[in-house]
């Protein structure tokens, strides 16, 4: 299965490996466009944003808005993100159970904490950018 790896807005041209993921996540600073997306399709991906000082958030989408989730912990370590992305790349399903996830489905946007709405906006922006990058610039 082919994957695309995007780091800070740039598509990585070399083959995606566990080592590349580790190196790339460690390069994220948390400043500006500090994100990485590992995509199987425009609506099937795992992505992270953040940096070592403030921590990382991780999210994934599995094809539809109803299957869109963010890590409950918004201050994941680089190692947690690397492990999840490497397992995602290897089709090792433990990435789903290693992290606690919260739904980003719009029905839950009125939930008790406001971070779901913030994540939804972030996802829309990143999803739009990813769609543009994958399908409109090729």
Residues 6+ apart with CB under 8 A from 67: 61
pLDDT over 90 at 47, yes or no = yes
Give tens-digit pLDDT for 94-104: 999 999 999 98
What pTM, to 2 d.p., does this model score?
0.76
Reading across the β-sheet that carries 101-103, which strands appear in turn?
10-11, 4-7, 35-41, 44-51, 55-62, 68-71, 101-103
Which residues make beta-bridge pairs with 70? 59, 102
Q: How far apart are CA 35 and CA 48, in angstroms?
A: 5
């Amino acid at each position: 299965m082919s994957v695309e790896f995007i780091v800070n807005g740039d598509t990585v041209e070399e083959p995606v490996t566990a080592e590349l993921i580790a190196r790339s996540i460690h390069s994220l600073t948390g400043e500006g466009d500090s994100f990485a997306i590992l995509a199987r399709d425009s609506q099937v991906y795992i992505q992270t944003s953040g940096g070592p000082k403030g921590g990382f958030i991780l999210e994934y989408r599995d094809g539809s808005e109803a299957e869109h989730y963010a890590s409950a912990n918004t201050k994941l370590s680089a190692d947690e993100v690397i492990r999840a992305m490497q397992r995602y790349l290897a089709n090792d399903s433990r990435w789903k159970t290693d992290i606690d996830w919260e739904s980003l489905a719009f029905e839950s946007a009125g939930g008790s904490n406001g971070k779901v709405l913030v994540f939804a906006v972030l996802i829309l922006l990143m999803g739009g950018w990813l769609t543009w990058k994958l399908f409109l610039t090729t």
